[in-house]
């Protein structure tokens, strides 16, 4: 440990959920108690669905109990099968929902700057078995939605976006959920906006809205008819009520993170071997949920793993999102698209990436200190 810098007295995690006041929660719980309605399309659910549709600037939105189930239902709703081209640089949920739908994930390499699926490489991976592209707006940086749509249109493929990280992201003033056939949002506690656990599907299709509502409620149309093999993906009233409260927090939290991101930029910009969060064009509105750096061992003098391990001595718990790559999991590494050397950019990014602590309650001095600790590791 460096002699000059003292570690933090309490652990600094990669994130901390935003908590509403207990009074706000109590007031909303009283509403639920009065209504005597706990789940299955209650009034809080209906209000949140409407409020989020407006906030996210999307035509249609279906709420879910979590993002993973939402993404599973997205695949069902579009009747996907066969092979789906996706990214190896994502959370486990992304390829797992394909497997749970009996679909084979085909891993495509990523762009070295955005860390999203490399739209240029998708076409070469398409076969007669391919039915869709499942892309991820990783860390909230939008994918190349135009190029992806172009290749999908050329081959008649569906486009699904895992937009778990992209709440409130916009391109040219359009909500991110307007791109592709369908997008999934996660409202997990660790996200910029949350409903404790929760998620949504957003899309432009009134028929899809109806079909997804059936699929998330066991396929039950009415007391006499069950019209498809659905699942239980329903968001309950307590989650929806918290979600309604959290809508009042999201802009402030975003602003705080913008300010913290600027400090990371200032402190770490120009440090040899450190690559900052990818910059985007002005017409893109980011949500600043994550702050992710990359560490080039040769230029920085220390590896990402060295930094990750030694941070702990200072009570700093950064995270290696997303290492290992999904293509390196035991359940996927036998796939030919996952063979070593097939995904050179993802493999490099997976070795270098580090998610830094990022949450509104973090103080500016904390971020400066974290950066000071990081710089003290330079060899």
183 sits near ligand T4K (criterion: CB under 6 A) = no
Out of 12, 74, 78, 93, point to the residue binding ligand T4K (CB under 6 A): 93
Instruction: Tell me which residues in 196-235 interact with ligand T4K (CB under 6 A).
Output: 199
14 sits near ligand T4K (criterion: CB under 6 A) = yes
Strand order in the sheet with 170-171: 174-175, 170-171, 284-285
Query: Please, what is the minimum distance in Å from the beta carbon of residue 158 to ligand T4K?
Result: 18
Taking the C-alpha atoms of residue 41 and residue 31, their distance in angstroms, rounded to an integer, is 15
Out of 7, 8, 13, 247, point to the residue binding ligand T4K (CB under 6 A): 13
Q: Are strands 182-186 and 158-162 parallel, antiparallel or unpaired?
A: parallel
Looking at 12-20, 52-60, 219-227, 242-250, which segment touches ligand T4K (CB under 6 A)? 12-20
User: Please, which residue, 300 or 358, has the CB nearer to ligand T4K?
Assistant: 358
Number of residues assigned to the chain: 379
Instruction: Tell me which residues in 320-359 interact with ligand T4K (CB under 6 A).
Output: 321
Looking at 15-23, 126-134, 148-156, 334-342, which segment touches ligand T4K (CB under 6 A)? 15-23
Query: Please, what is the minimum distance in Å from the beta carbon of residue 233 to ligand T4K?
Result: 11
Over its C-alpha atoms, the chain yields an Rg (Å, rounded) of 21
DSSP state of 110: B
User: Please, which residue, 16 or 302, has the CB nearer to ligand T4K?
Assistant: 16
Taking the C-alpha atoms of residue 229 and residue 100, their distance in angstroms, rounded to an integer, is 14
What 3-state DSSP class applies to 186? strand
Element (H, E) at 121: helix 119-122
Pull the structure tokens for residue 93: 């949920």
Q: Is the peptide bond before 324 cis (omega within 30 degrees of 0)?
A: yes
Instruction: Tell me which residues in 33-72 interact with ligand T4K (CB under 6 A).
Output: 66-68
Taking the C-alpha atoms of residue 341 and residue 350, their distance in angstroms, rounded to an integer, is 13
Query: Please, what is the minimum distance in Å from the beta carbon of residue 361 to ligand T4K?
Result: 10
- Enumerate binding residues for ligand T4K (CB under 6 A): 13-17, 66-68, 90-91, 93-94, 136, 162, 164-165, 186, 188-190, 199, 317, 321
């Amino acid at each position: 440990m460096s002699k000059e810098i003292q570690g933090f007295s309490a652990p600094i995690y990669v994130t901390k959920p935003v908590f509403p006041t207990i009074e706000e929660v109590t007031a909303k719980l009283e509403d639920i108690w009065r209504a005597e309605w706990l789940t299955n399309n209650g009034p809080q659910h209906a209000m949140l669905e409407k409020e989020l549709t407006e906030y996210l600037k999307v035509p249609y939105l279906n709420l879910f109990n979590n993002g993973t189930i939402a993404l599973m239902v997205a695949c069902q709703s579009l009747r996907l099968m066969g092979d789906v081209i996706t990214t190896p640089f994502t959370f486990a949920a992304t390829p797992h929902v394909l497997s749970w739908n009996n679909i084979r994930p085909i891993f495509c390499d990523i762009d070295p700057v955005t860390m999203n699926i490399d739209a240029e490489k998708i076409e070469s991976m398409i076969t007669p078995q391919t039915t869709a592209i499942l892309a991820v707006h990783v860390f909230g940086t939008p994918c190349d939605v135009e190029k992806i749509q172009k290749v999908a249109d050329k081959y008649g493929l569906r486009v699904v976006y895992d937009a778990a990280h992209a709440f409130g992201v916009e391109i040219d003033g359009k909500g991110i959920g307007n791109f592709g056939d369908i997008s999934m949002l996660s409202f997990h506690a660790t996200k910029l906006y949350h409903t404790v656990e929760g998620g949504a599907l957003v899309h432009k299709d009134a028929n899809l809205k109806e079909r997804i509502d059936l699929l998330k409620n066991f396929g039950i149309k009415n007391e006499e008819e069950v019209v498809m093999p659905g699942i239980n993906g329903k968001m309950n009233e307590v989650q929806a009520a918290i979600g309604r409260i959290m809508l009042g927090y999201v802009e402030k939290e975003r602003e705080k993170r913008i300010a913290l991101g600027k400090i990371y930029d200032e402190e770490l910009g120009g440090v040899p071997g450190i690559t900052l969060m990818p910059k985007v064009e002005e017409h893109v509105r980011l949500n600043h949920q994550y702050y992710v750096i990359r560490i080039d061992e040769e230029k920085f003098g220390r590896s990402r793993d060295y930094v990750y391990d030694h941070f702990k001595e200072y009570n700093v718990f950064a995270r290696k999102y997303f290492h290992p790559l999904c293509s390196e999991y035991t359940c996927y590494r036998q796939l030919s698209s996952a063979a070593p050397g097939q995904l050179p950019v993802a493999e490099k990014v997976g070795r270098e990436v580090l998610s830094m602590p990022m949450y509104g309650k973090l103080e500016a001095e904390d971020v400066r200190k974290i950066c000071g600790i990081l710089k003290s590791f330079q060899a």
